Structures are given as C-alpha cells and as structure tokens.
C-alpha cells in the first residue's frame, strides 16, 4: 500500500492506494467513507475491504474527504457538494495510479449517497455498491437531530447549536451548509437514473432498504444481498472499541469476486 496526499493544495486529501495483486483487472475501486464517528469506527473495515479487493485484482483507493481524517482543514464552510468534488479528484487520482479507464464506487452509509451523487454525471464510473446506504439526506439530518434531542435527558452533551445551526453529534460537527446540501439529495431520485450496475448490500433489513430494493429491482445488473451483521457505527464504549462486521465485508468481496473482468 502507498499512503500520500493528493488533490488541490488548498484542500489536499489523504489517500491510501492498494495496488492490484494477481489478476489484472481493468477496473479500480474507490471507497467512500461515512461521516463523523462512523468514519472513525469504520476505518478498520474500510481498510480490510481495500486489502482484500486488491487481492482479487482490483487496484483500490481509500481517502479522507476534506475536513476529515488526515485531510486538510475542518468542516467550516464545507458542503456535501465539496465532498462529491473530492470523490471526483480521488477517481482521477486512482485512474492515473492504476492506469484503468473505469472505477467502481463503494459507499458506506452517507458515503453511498455521496457516491451515487458523484456517479450521476460521471461516465468514468463502472458500478455502484451501496453498503447500508443512507437513502435520504433530509432523513439522515433529521435522524441526527432526533437522536441528539432524545439523548438530552440522559446527560448527553451532543446538541443542536442554535447560533449558526451547526449540529454537534457524537464528537463531530455537521455545519449548516452541509446539512442544507445533503438534505436535497435522495437515492430514490438518483439511483434509478443510473445506467451502470448497482449493488445494494445490507447488514440488516429496514423499510427504507426494502423500498430502495423494490425501486431498483428492474435495473439491469441490480444485485441485492442481506449479510446479517452489527451496524451501529455510532456506538462508543468507554475503551474505544470499534465495529468489525465481517459478514457484510465478506459479502461485498464476494460480489466483486464474481464480477466479470471489464
């Protein structure tokens, strides 16, 4: 693996490239992180997925959006559009490094919605894999608001910060501009318009997942798998444990192992 910085100097991005091993596939994979505490707790799973996909012959890049992880800046003034731009930079970097013409996107939670948005107008993208996807940006923001409100009585210091509207949730800030942009996006609108194969791989069942599955079921190449595994990425214990939902990671690997070489 090779870790490095790339992208524009004013908003440089941290990335880790995993070169392909064995089979020489003409398709690379870009991994799109979830947000906040979920990102922190998913690092191991995302890394392990990258390593295992590289062993299947896929060059893989994982990276941190601007204002997150080791990338530049913080989230002040950052919008969801900026993160979609970052995905675009990462796609180009990956294509250059791996010398491929097509890139598959895998997104976890909010990363799935961002990946879908990025793929809307980008013909470099070969397939879209949505892992426990956030279906609706507005629903996601509302969900965070209600968790914060619900936890107030138990002494949580996560709060709705009123002066500028920033949400402070589980140690991370979601600024107003980000909330505003993400709230207008939904997979119901974006995903069915895609002509590339879509996979929906989930760790549990829910009404929203079922609804999305139904709306995508007629799409060419649609794949669905339920791989039961824990999925509370926001669970924070007192010793800093992290989630390791191996069954769903394995399911994504199986999907790529069976995919035809482009």
What gap in Å lies between CA 238 and CA 226, rounded to an integer?
30
Options 162, 220, 238, 261; binder of other proteins; rule CB under 8 A: 238
As beta bridge partners, residue 103 has: 28, 125
3, 61 contact by CB (below 8 A):
no
- Interaction between residue 14 and other proteins (CB under 8 A): yes
Instruction: Kindly tell me which of 12 and 223 has the beta carbon lying closer to other proteins.
Output: 12
Contact track, other proteins, 178-207, x by CB under 8 A: ------------------------------
- Segment contacting other proteins (CB under 8 A): 87-95, 136-144, 164-172, 175-183? 164-172
Instruction: Kindly tell me which of 190 and 242 has the beta carbon lying closer to other proteins.
Output: 242
- Interaction between residue 172 and other proteins (CB under 8 A): yes
Helix/strand/coil for 150: helix
2 phi and psi, to 5 degrees? Answer: -135, 120
Instruction: Kindly tell me which of 50 and 91 has the beta carbon lying closer to other proteins.
Output: 50
> Positive or negative, the Cα torsion across 10, 14, 19, 24?
negative
Residues with Cβ within 8 Å of 121's Cβ and at least 6 positions away in sequence, in order, are none
Options 152, 246, 257, 262; binder of other proteins; rule CB under 8 A: 246
- Interaction between residue 239 and other proteins (CB under 8 A): yes
As beta bridge partners, residue 3 has: 16
- The residue length of the chain stands at 262
What gap in Å lies between CA 103 and CA 87, rounded to an integer?
11
Applying CB under 8 A, the residues found at the interface with other proteins are 1, 3-5, 12, 14, 16, 37, 40, 43-44, 47, 68-70, 72, 157-158, 168, 170-173, 229-230, 232, 235-246
């Amino acid at each position: 693996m090779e870790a490095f910085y790339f992208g524009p100097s004013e908003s440089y991005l941290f990335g880790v490239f995993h070169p392909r091993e064995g089979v020489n596939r003409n398709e690379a994979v870009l991994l799109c992180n979830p947000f906040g505490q979920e990102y922190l707790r998913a690092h191991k799973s995302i890394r392990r997925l990258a390593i295992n996909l590289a062993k299947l012959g896929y060059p893989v890049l994982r990276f941190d959006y601007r204002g997150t992880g080791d990338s530049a800046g913080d989230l002040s003034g950052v919008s969801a559009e900026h993160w979609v731009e970052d995905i675009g930079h990462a796609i180009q970097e990956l294509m250059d490094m791996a010398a491929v013409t097509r890139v598959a996107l895998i997104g976890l939670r909010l990363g799935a919605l961002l990946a879908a948005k990025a793929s809307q107008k980008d013909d470099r993208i070969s397939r879209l894999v949505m892992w426990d996807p956030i279906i609706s940006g507005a629903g996601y923001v509302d969900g965070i608001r209600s968790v914060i409100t619900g936890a107030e009585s138990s002494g949580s210091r996560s709060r709705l910060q009123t002066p500028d509207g920033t949400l402070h949730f589980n140690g991370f800030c979601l600024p107003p501009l980000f909330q505003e942009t993400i709230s207008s996006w939904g997979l119901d609108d974006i995903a069915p318009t895609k002509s590339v194969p879509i996979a929906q791989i989930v760790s549990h069942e829910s009404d929203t997942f079922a609804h999305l599955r139904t709306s995508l079921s007629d799409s060419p190449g649609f794949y669905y798998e339920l791989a039961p595994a824990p999925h509370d990425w926001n669970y924070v214990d007192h010793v800093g444990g992290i989630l390791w939902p191996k069954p769903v990671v394995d399911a994504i690997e199986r999907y790529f192992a069976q995919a035809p070489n482009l």
